Amino acid sequence: MTHKELLDFIRNRMRMAHIYQPVMLRVLLESSGSATERQIAEAISSEDPSQVEYYEKITRDMVGRVLRKHELVERIKENRMYRLLGFENLKPVEIEELITACREKLDEYVERRGSDVIWGKERNYISGTVRYEVFKRAKFRCNLCGVAADKKALQVDHIKPRKWGGPDDISNFQALCYTCNATKRDQDDTDFRKVRASYSHREDGCPFCDPTEEKIIARNELALALVDEYPVTDKHHLVIPIRHAPNYFDLGSAEQNACTQLLVAMQKKLCEQDDSIAGFNVGINTGDAAGQTIPHCHIHLIPRRTGDVSDPTGGVRNVIPGMGDYRLASET
């Protein structure tokens, strides 16, 4: 791509629905022709650093794709970088002119659309204090999927969309990660805070609904880890959802994620405590026919050690006698 072609694209052929294209080109020009997705994302998100991951996705799936289509850049998958085609042939004065053209294009767009629209901010500004209270109320997790704020940036969502008359009031705000918020958009008025409230449901008489603190080994917002009172092996543990749910398939994705996170954490912890552990069985009994005796979902984390049985082949397949070794079963 020559200087003349680039300048013509920036000044005359660039069609903008957002500020991304000139920012990406400017970063590439200022970085000797190559930049990582993160560098581009940081430039785009300079007004809101918490959104870097979001803008990395924007760089990869939107602006990068558009500029590749115009044959202005190429993406190097190995290190997630972009390279401006023909940069090595540009003179310093030409680079400066192109950078200036990108800045002018941005200024034109801001003047035409307004800075609030550019950076995706609410027309009626939501203060940092209110944002903090909304996130704090949600325990810094998405009210829909449950992902933590340190894993994915949270946004303040209007439960009842503004276009439907929803007020700019904290009572109408909920915390959603950017993925859930983008999926919900402004076509839905579901209050996902109610979903989160359901996580506190308990069932009278259920031994897993109200365990004593001394039985709880680890916990997160939606799940607990307990020592199994009838262990199959030493250090046999259970991971259970806090909400009373009869089986794993009744759990929401946030609860399933929370249980998985605890399983991973407990597996690591047990291996650090006991170097004789050589493997694990992870199992869930669902329904009477599968041997479930307590109607509250619980996931078994069973440490295994070399030689603890004469032949461990097949692992969980041994719940059906004679079916452990599938190779032998297939021959019969």
pLDDT at 266 over 80: yes
| Structure confidence by residue, pLDDT tens digits, 192-220 | 666 666 777 889 999 999 898 989 999 98
Q: What is the DSSP string of 270-331?
A: HHHH-TTEEEEEEEE--SGGGT--SSS--EEEEEEETTSSS--TTGGGGGSTT-S-HHHHTT
pLDDT at 75 over 70: yes
Instruction: Please state the domain extents for the chain.
Output: 3-118, 128-198, 213-329
Report pLDDT for 116.
47
The CATH code for residues 213-329 is 3.30.428.10
Report pLDDT for 123.
43
Q: Could you give the CA distance from residue 127 to residue 39 in angstroms, rounded to a whole number?
A: 27
Report pLDDT for 41.
84
Q: Could you give the CA distance from residue 80 to residue 68 in angstroms, rounded to a whole number?
A: 14
330 vs 280, more confident: 280
Q: Which residues contact 134 (CB under 8 A, 6 or more apart)?
A: 156, 170, 173, 174, 175
Active-site residue flag, 298: yes
Q: What is the mean pLDDT of residues 259-284?
A: 95
| Structure confidence by residue, pLDDT tens digits, 9-55 | 999 999 886 678 998 999 999 999 999 988 888 887 764 555 666 67
Report pLDDT for 15.
87
**How many residues are given for the chain?**
332
Report pLDDT for 331.
56
Q: Could you give the CA distance from residue 284 to residue 271 in angstroms, rounded to a whole number?
A: 21
Chain position carrying tokens 């047990």: 270
Report pLDDT for 118.
46
Q: What is the pTM of this model?
A: 0.50
Segment among 168-177, 235-244, 266-275, 302-311 with least mean pLDDT: 168-177
303 vs 117, more confident: 303
pLDDT at 125 over 70: no
Question: What integer best gives the mean pLDDT of the chain?
Answer: 85
234 vs 184, more confident: 234
For residue 311 the two structure tokens come to 């032949």
Segment among 76-85, 116-125, 164-173, 317-326 with least mean pLDDT: 116-125
| SS3 of residue 7 by DSSP | helix
Q: What is the mean pLDDT of residues 236-242?
A: 96
Per CATH, 3-118 and 213-329 having the same topology is answered no
List 158, 244, 298, 300, catalytic entry: 298
Q: Could you give the CA distance from residue 154 to residue 135 in angstroms, rounded to a whole number?
A: 8
pLDDT at 288 over 60: yes
Is residue 192 a contact partner of residue 225, using CB atoms and an 8 Å limit?
no
The CATH code for residues 3-118 is 1.10.10
